[in-house]
Structure 1
């Protein structure tokens, strides 16, 4: 009775009381939706949705087996758009490695259409292949299957695991979509990774298609299965393997020598510009030193995902734009901004 008395005191009319009930119900419904969304985000197996029906791309299991010196990019569901800068990275890989097959592996439908001229520009290269990767089928019977079914994996970690599995299956080179290839990579095919000045960076790495490489990858995945604890990169696990192979924890020393058929390249080969310094690529003032810095590098990590808020006119003198004009001219010619 006390509760009713208090409500009656607060709402001196039936209409006010009705509004209160409706508002309370709506707020409760909103709260439940927020909680449900949060639960799904946290407890979704890979924090992303892998779609089984995929009508618009050929499955990797239905095409000729990729050669052991192929180049692979991965686009996971968490990244649901193939962007202009992604297209630039794919074109750069294709142009600088004309005799190498370039595969863009999608785990979900491409959200892109005829209006995206930059996509058509990339597809004009005969060595570029957009392929569907059915994750459930891809991991079945592999060392990753148990991990995917029993752990809650960070979304970035999922992508790197799929990259490792791809190199385990076929051999070749994997790179992130913000990495531009500047040279032909024939001379570096093998078991390698790059030192970025701080860590062994998994945004660009390679493995042969042989028993030695398979053993290395199996050992890495085995340790991940045993000790995964929410990491967002496989780098620490690769680092442990290489430190064991080289019998030292000094990455600077490791990057200057080859240890047991695994090469760690020094910073200047793959990461001439660091993540912190990458802002110079997105500064509208031209910087002639940039081309000097990357002159002898094989790749350039543009750290594009850190600069998504910067939209650069393609007729401007931004260092990124000048580099893109050289390495992805077809894509640039379809754009007003990148």
Structure 2
């Protein structure tokens, strides 16, 4: 596994193409581009991206990006504004983010509310808060500090630009948990709606006609611990998490951008699913490793 030692980040990185279409084309061509998202996102064409899917640096956590929770909202909002302008009318922004325990200040030792402050600020900006998902981590590592149990979940917030965002529930359906015999019995029931003391219940006639069940908004995906080929990023995103949202919120051929690309998971998964994908990574070393990973994945697909 390649070891990465981060170097000081240049203020600009590679030059941004002069036209918005050229800027987007470069991101989609490279997969992950070394660059500052605060400079690149405003350079993208208006209403050109179907999905911004990202896990931005969490507050006051990683050595490569120390952002105090007290100023996290102020730090993130310029990125959010630029993403809003670049999102299609049916497009979405999905953010995976984790709460923190305050290390100092009046909230020291408590959960800091910066995650929820960010949600409210994004709503005030004009983003429509569609849903909150829970990424449930079956293999979460125990924490070091009490009085609390280990963090075994993270938030994933879905925001949309317009009132009718693209969403394909059929693409993410899961196997039914009931028996095949019960499914066949239900298909014979022509009066699936049952009266209850509270009124009419839901119609169950169509429950098993979709080929799979609604997965719900709790997504169990095991955490990844630097297991990707050639990736030594300290916070790699598991592919299963990206796959869920790319499938649900973009059509085949749609444009997916990750402004905090890290190890390149979003681009790898989206390309595998026949989407056009690109990303931005502030640190040149991580961007280079992500490009290598994308190349290896493309080669594996070609061979198979």
TM-score past 0.5 threshold: no
What TM-score range do you get, normalising by the shorter chain?
under 0.3
TM-score normalized by the length of structure 2: 0.25
Larger radius of gyration: 1
TM-score normalized by the length of structure 1: 0.24
- Where relative contact order (Cα < 8 A, 6+ residues apart) is larger, the structure is 2
